[in-house]
């Protein structure tokens, strides 16, 4: 039997990169995966791939920073499937720049998606999880939220917030059979990171003891573990997937 057979998993930011890898992994393990993103065409392409591999997927176009829409998605999933077992808060954006030059709208945009989005979807799914006395929530944070990163005060703050959010919510819901954890990736090869100039990529490599960049599947494997019954006694924790970049 597949590990997540009969489970229903919501993955935000599932249209590409880490989110897509997580969705594909969960579907391969038998979960019905609810794909959430603003990019509907890309979501539908991911869904076609899952269905083509004999998996199950639903598509919900949504801006995670919209609290009303987050609740609508959660209500629709609960109504359609009768349960919500997993939530992976992966949706995120960057608006990099030094603080002296950072526009207020760049700060607001990153915090709205990366942190308020975590709040919106976690709150939206919690009623179903509490009623079932079972649930798994995983926030995709970042090494930047642990060690900081020049030029990313907004992004680092949002990811540090996602970690503190996970630890705090874990204390609130542990007695209800719900675990809440975070995964903090380091430098992962995605469409976003591949746009960085080659000299910057080489500089990053110098600081990574394993001397390679991570892959989306490396992060997906950590998420899959935290969602599984093997991690039923793990909550409020952060798993770093960074090749030793930050220890």
Q: Which domains does the chain have, with CATH numbers?
A: 8-238 (3.40.50.720)
User: Could you read off the pLDDT of 189-201 as tens digits, one per residue?
Assistant: 987 677 777 887 8
- Please give the backbone phi and psi of residue 22, each rounded to the nearest 5 degrees, phi first: -65, -45
107/152 Cα distance (integer angstroms): 10
Q: Which residues are catalytic?
A: 155
pLDDT of residue 1: 83
What is the token pair recorded at 58?
């639903």
Q: Note the pTM of the prediction, 2 decimals.
A: 0.97
pLDDT of res. 195 = 73
pLDDT for residue 24: 98
Residue 45 has pLDDT above 90, yes or no: yes
pLDDT attached to residue 178: 99
Segment 70-129, tens digit of pLDDT: 999 999 999 999 999 999 999 999 999 999 999 999 999 999 999 999 999 999 999 999
Radius of gyration (Cα) for the chain, nearest Å? 17
Give the three-state DSSP class for 46: helix
Q: What is the mean pLDDT of residues 225-242?
A: 98
Percent of the chain, pLDDT > 70?
A: 100
């Amino acid at each position: 039997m597949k590990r997540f057979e009969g489970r229903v998993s919501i993955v935000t930011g599932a249209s590409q990169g880490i989110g897509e890898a997580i969705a594909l992994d969960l579907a391969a393990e038998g979960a019905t995966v609810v794909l959430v993103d603003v990019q509907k065409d890309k979501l539908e392409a991911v869904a076609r791939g899952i269905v083509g591999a004999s998996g199950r997927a639903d598509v919900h176009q949504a801006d995670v920073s919209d609290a009303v829409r987050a609740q609508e998605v959660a209500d629709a999933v609960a109504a359609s499937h009768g349960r919500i077992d997993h939530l992976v808060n992966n949706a995120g954006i960057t608006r990099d720049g030094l603080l002296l030059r950072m526009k207020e709208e760049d700060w607001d945009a990153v915090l709205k998606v990366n942190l308020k989005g975590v709040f919106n979807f976690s709150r939206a799914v919690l009623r179903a999880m509490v009623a079932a006395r079972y649930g798994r929530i995983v926030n995709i944070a970042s090494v930047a939220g642990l060690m900081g990163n020049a030029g990313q005060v907004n992004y680092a703050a949002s990811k540090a917030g996602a970690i503190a959010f996970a630890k705090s919510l874990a204390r609130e819901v542990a007695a209800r059979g719900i675990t809440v954890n975070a995964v903090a990736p380091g430098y992962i090869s995605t469409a976003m990171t591949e746009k960085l100039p080659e000299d910057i990529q080489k500089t990053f490599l110098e600081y990574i003891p394993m001397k390679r960049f991570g892959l989306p599947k490396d992060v997906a494997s950590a998420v899959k573990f935290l969602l599984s019954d093997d991690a039923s006694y793990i909550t409020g924790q952060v798993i770093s997937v960074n090749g030793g970049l930050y220890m």
